[in-house]
Every structure is written in structure tokens, then in C-alpha cells.
């Protein structure tokens, strides 16, 4: 039995199997709707919580933290 996930765009169930060519989306249309949301910045990656920056933890200079 294939695992089922909900389409991120319309919430329809999508079987997680090789025959589902648009997974995790149910269709090409839902895939393009999601892409459009990223392009118009309706979707974005969250900022780090509590000021934590993984690149700063390594000790490497990060933008704005090095000598001027």
C-alpha cells in the first residue's frame, strides 16, 4: 500500500509512488501555483530563530561581522 500525502496547494490526497509524477503535488497546475507563490514571495524561508546563524557558529567571517 502506497503512502498518501496531501497536495501542498489544494490538499487533495496524492499517493506517494512512482506513478505520481507531480508528487508531492496532485497535478502540474498545483505545482505551478506553488512555484508562482515562491516567485512573488508569498512563500519564503523563515529567518533563524533567536539570532542563531549556523554560518557564524563555525567562526568564519559572515557578512557584516568582520573587521571594517
List, for residues 53-65, the tens digit of each pLDDT value. 666 655 555 555 5
Annotated domain spans of the chain: 3-42
pLDDT recorded at residue 57: 57
List, for residues 8-51, the tens digit of each pLDDT value. 999 999 999 999 999 999 999 999 999 999 899 888 888 777 76
Q: How many CB atoms lie within 10 A of CB 29?
A: 12
Q: How far apart are CA 22 and CA 20, in angstroms?
A: 6
pLDDT recorded at residue 42: 86
CATH topology of domain 3-42: Erythroid Transcription Factor GATA-1; Chain A (3.30.50)
Q: How many CB atoms lie within 10 A of CB 65?
A: 10
Amino acid at each position: 500500500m502506497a503512502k498518501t500525502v496531501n497536495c501542498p496547494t489544494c490538499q487533495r490526497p496524492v499517493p506517494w509512488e512512482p506513478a505520481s509524477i507531480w508528487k508531492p503535488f496532485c497535478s502540474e497546475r498545483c505545482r505551478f501555483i506553488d512555484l508562482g507563490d515562491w516567485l512573488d514571495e508569498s512563500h519564503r524561508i523563515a529567518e533563524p530563530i533567536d539570532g542563531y546563524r549556523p554560518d557564524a557558529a563555525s567562526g568564519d567571517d559572515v557578512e557584516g561581522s568582520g573587521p571594517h
